[in-house]
Amino acid sequence: MSAVTASHPTQATFRRRRLGVLLLLIAVVLLVGAALGTVSAQAELDDPVAGHAVIEPGETLWDVARASAPEGVDPRAQLEALRELNGIGGGELAPWTVVLLPTR
């Protein structure tokens, strides 16, 4: 009868396993990043951006709406479009806030 001997993994085996797991994790992260990049690259804005404005000290979003409203567009409609595009609720904006301007 032959004796069964248990083989214990060596340090080199542990290093190879750790390297394999690390490479697998890197591959997963790269694949997820590529997938997210593809999704965001394919996403289109409902209301494309025409440019931007910077809120100066003492200036309000209403001032930006009046200044950026195209000819014949009510500044109130422009104000609502600015709020929607930028995700701005009511309240005061901090100076030097960059506001995206919608295309009309």
pTM value? 0.53
Stretch 40-65: mean pLDDT: 79
Structure-model confidence comparison of residues 55 and 3, the more confident one: 55
Low-confidence winner among 46-60, 66-80, 83-97 (lowest mean pLDDT): 46-60
Band the pLDDT of 2: cuts 50, 70, 90. Answer: low
Q: What are the DSSP calls for 27-73, one per residue?
A: HHHHHHHHHHHHHHHH---SS-EEEEEE--TT--HHHHHHHHPPTT-
Residues 6+ apart with CB under 8 A from 18: none
C-beta separation of 81 from 102 below 8 A = yes
Percentage of residues in the chain with pLDDT exceeding 70?
83
> Residue 42 above 80 pLDDT?
no
Q: Which CATH class is domain 49-102?
A: alpha beta
Specify the pLDDT at position 12.
Answer: 87
Band the pLDDT of 47: cuts 50, 70, 90. Answer: very low
